[in-house]
Amino acid sequence: MAMHLQGSLFDQTDELHLSPLNPMRRTALGAGAWIDLLPGWLGGADALFDRLAAEVPWRAERRQMYEHVVDVPRLLASYRAGDPLPHPILDEARDALSAHYAAELGEPFTTAGLCYYRDGRDSVAWHGDKIGRGAREDTMVAILSVGAPRDLLLRPCRGGDTVRRPLGHGDLIVMGGSCQRTWEHAIPKTARAAGPRISIQFRPHGVN
Ligand SMILES: O=C(O)CCC(=O)C(=O)O
Ligand SMILES: [Fe+2]
C-alpha cells in the first residue's frame, strides 16, 4: 500500500513535461548579444538524464593538440535535421522553441548536439559556435540541461566581465543575437564535487 502511494506520488511530480516558454527572461549582454533563461523548463529532467545517459550511443572523441592526441573531455552525440532524436520529449522541445522564436529567428531549430559531462573533469573550453553561419550572422543556440548543474560561463571576445549561469535539472538557456561571434562560452572544469550533466543544444541548419 505504502509502496503504491509512493509510486503514484513519484509519477505525478516526476512526469516529463515542458512548461510554457512565455516566462522566459532576456538579458542583454552588450555588443548585440543576449541570453534568454527559463529555469526548470523541463519537469522530470532527472529521469530524462538517466534515459539519455543509458541509451544514447555516446561517442568519445580524440583531438590533436599540438604534438599530442588528447581525449575530448566529454562524450558527444549529434543529430542532423530529420534524424530521430533519442527521446520524443526532445522533438517536443525543439518544436516548442521553433514556434516560440519563429518571428525573431525566421527559421526553425533543426539539429541537436548532445554533450555528456561525466564529472567535474569534463568540460568545454572557451569558444563561440561559429564553425558555420554563426561566424557571420546573428543566430540562436538553445541549450536544455538535465542532470546535475554545471556553470556555463560567457565572456565578451573583446574583454570584460564574465557572466556565470548554473544550468541543470531542466533549465533552458538561449544564446541569441551576435552571441556566437561577439561572446565566447565555456563549461569550466571544477574541483568541487559535480554530478553528471547532459546538455542538449538545438541549432538552426548550418549553425555549429
Ligand atoms: O554543455 C553546454 O551547455 C555547452 C555546450 C557547447 O557550448 C557546445 O557544445 O557548443
Ligand atoms: Fe558552444
What ipTM goes with this model?
0.99
How far does the centroid of ligand 2 lie from the alpha carbon of residue 68, in Å?
A: 23
Which candidate, 127, 97, 74, places its Cα nearest to that of 22?
97
Index of the ligand 1 atom closest to the CA of residue 143: 3
Which cell numbers hold the place of 37? 533563461
Q: 7 lies in a domain?
A: no
Which candidate, 53, 41, 38, places its Cα nearest to that of 16?
41
Torsion over CA: 21, 18, 114, 162 (sign): positive
Rounded percentage of the chain residues whose pLDDT exceeds 90:
92
Residue nearest to ligand 1 atom 2, measured at CA:
199
For ligand 1, whether the C-beta of 143 sits within 6 Å is yes
Q: 198 lies in a domain?
A: yes
For ligand 1, whether the C-beta of 111 sits within 6 Å is no
Other CB atoms within 10 Å distance of the CB of residue 14: 13
How far does the centroid of ligand 2 lie from the alpha carbon of residue 23, in Å?
A: 24
Which cell numbers hold the place of 207? 549553425
Alpha helices by DSSP H, the chain: 2-14, 45-55, 88-100, 102-105, 179-182
Q: 129 lies in a domain?
A: yes
Radius of gyration of the chain from its Cα atoms, rounded to whole angstroms:
17
Q: 9 lies in a domain?
A: no
CATH code of the domain containing 118: 2.60.120.590
- Count up the domains in the chain and report the number: 1
Terminal alpha carbon distance of the chain:
51
Q: 176 lies in a domain?
A: yes
For ligand 1, whether the C-beta of 142 sits within 6 Å is no
Q: What is the DSSP letter of 162?
A: P
Q: 4 lies in a domain?
A: no
Identify which of 201, 203, 207, 208 to mutate to test ligand 1's pocket (most ligand atoms within 8 A of the CB).
201
Q: 127 lies in a domain?
A: yes
* pLDDT greater than 90 at residue 33: yes
Torsion over CA: 126, 129, 134, 135 (sign): positive
Region 167-192: mean pLDDT is 98
Q: 188 lies in a domain?
A: yes
Q: Which amino acid, 144?
A: L
Boundaries of domain holding 89 = 17-204
Question: pTM higher than 0.90 for the full model?
Answer: yes
- List pLDDT tens digits, range 79-125: 999 999 999 999 999 999 999 999 999 999 999 999 999 999 999 99
Closest ligand to Cα 174: 1
Lowest mean pLDDT across 1-15, 56-70, 135-149, 160-174: 1-15
Which cell numbers hold the place of 97? 522553441
Q: What is the DSSP letter of 85?
A: P
For ligand 1, whether the C-beta of 184 sits within 6 Å is no
